[in-house]
Amino acid sequence: MDIMQGFTIFLLIFCRITAFFVVSPVFSARTVPNIFKIGFSGIVALIIFLVYGTTQTAPSDLTYIVLIIREVLIGLLMGYVATLMFSVITMAGSFIDIQIGFGMANVFDPMTGASAPVTGNFKYSIASLFFLGMNGHHYLLEAVLRSYQWIPLSNDVFNRIYHGDLSEFLIRAFGQAFMLAFQMAAPLIVALFLTDVALGFLAKTAPQFNIFVIGIPLKILVGLVLLLVFMSSMVYAFQQLFELLFRALENLLGTLGSRP
C-alpha cells in the first residue's frame, strides 16, 4: 500500500472516530479540551488503521466525498444512540423537578453547555462517576473498534437508511429511552402526587391553612427525603441503564451492518 492510499483510508477511519467523540457521552463534555479529543481520535484511528485499514482500498475520484459523509454519519449515529440512553437520567430528573417544585430552577450544566434540571444534573453527575467507575468508557471504545467488523468501510449504510431500517430503530430507541426515564422517576412522582392529594384533603378539612405556603416547602422536603432513601437503588438503575446502552449500540451496529 502506497502512502497516499494509506492516508485516504486513515482519513476515513479518523472521520468516524472523530464524529463519535463529538457527540458520545463523557468524551463530548465541554470540560474535555478539543485538542485532547482530536489527538485521542487520531491515536485511536491510527491503531484501527494498523490493525484493519492496511488491507482496505479507497477510490481516488469524487465518490471519496460520499465515503467521508457516510463515515461521519455512522460515527454520529453511534454517539447519538449512546447519548440518547444517557439523557434518560436528565429526562427523569426533569420529571421529578416538575413535581417537586424545582422546574423553574434550572442550572447551567458545564458538561453539555445547556441549562439542566437540578435533580437531573445531580443524577447525571452520579451516573457519570459510576459510568467511569465501571469502565464504561472502555466499552464505548470497544464498540467503536468492533464497529469496523460489523460495518466495514465497504458498507451499504445509505441503502439500509433508504429501506427504513434505521428510522424504525431510532423511533424504537427513543420510545424505550422515554419509558426508562419515566420508570426511573415514577417512585418519586407517585409519592409527590400522593402528597398533593393529602394537601388537597387538608385544604378541604382545614380551610384556614394556607396550602400554598405549606405545600411548596413540604413537597420539597418530601422529595429530598425520598431522593435520599432511593439513593441506593440508583446504582442498580444506572447499571441496568448502561447495559441497555451497550445493547442498543449492538443493535445499531446490527441495523447498519451485519454480524461478523
pLDDT recorded at residue 106: 61
Whether residue 29 is contained in a domain is answered as no
Decide: 18 and 46 in contact? Cβ < 8 Å. Answer: no
pLDDT recorded at residue 115: 63
Give the Cβ contact number of residue 24 at 10 Å: 24
Could you tell me which of 5, 248, 237 has the C-alpha nearest to residue 140?
248
Whether residue 134 is contained in a domain is answered as yes
pLDDT recorded at residue 114: 59
Whether residue 70 is contained in a domain is answered as no
pLDDT recorded at residue 31: 77
pLDDT recorded at residue 224: 81
pLDDT recorded at residue 1: 55
Whether residue 11 is contained in a domain is answered as no
pLDDT recorded at residue 50: 85
Give the Cβ contact number of residue 72 at 10 Å: 17
Domain count, the chain: 1
Residue stretches of the chain with pLDDT short of 50: none
pLDDT recorded at residue 110: 57
Whether residue 33 is contained in a domain is answered as no
Strand partners, 115: 108
pLDDT recorded at residue 21: 87
Could you tell me which of 188, 31, 201, 45 has the C-alpha nearest to residue 108?
31
Residue 183 lies in domain: 77-256
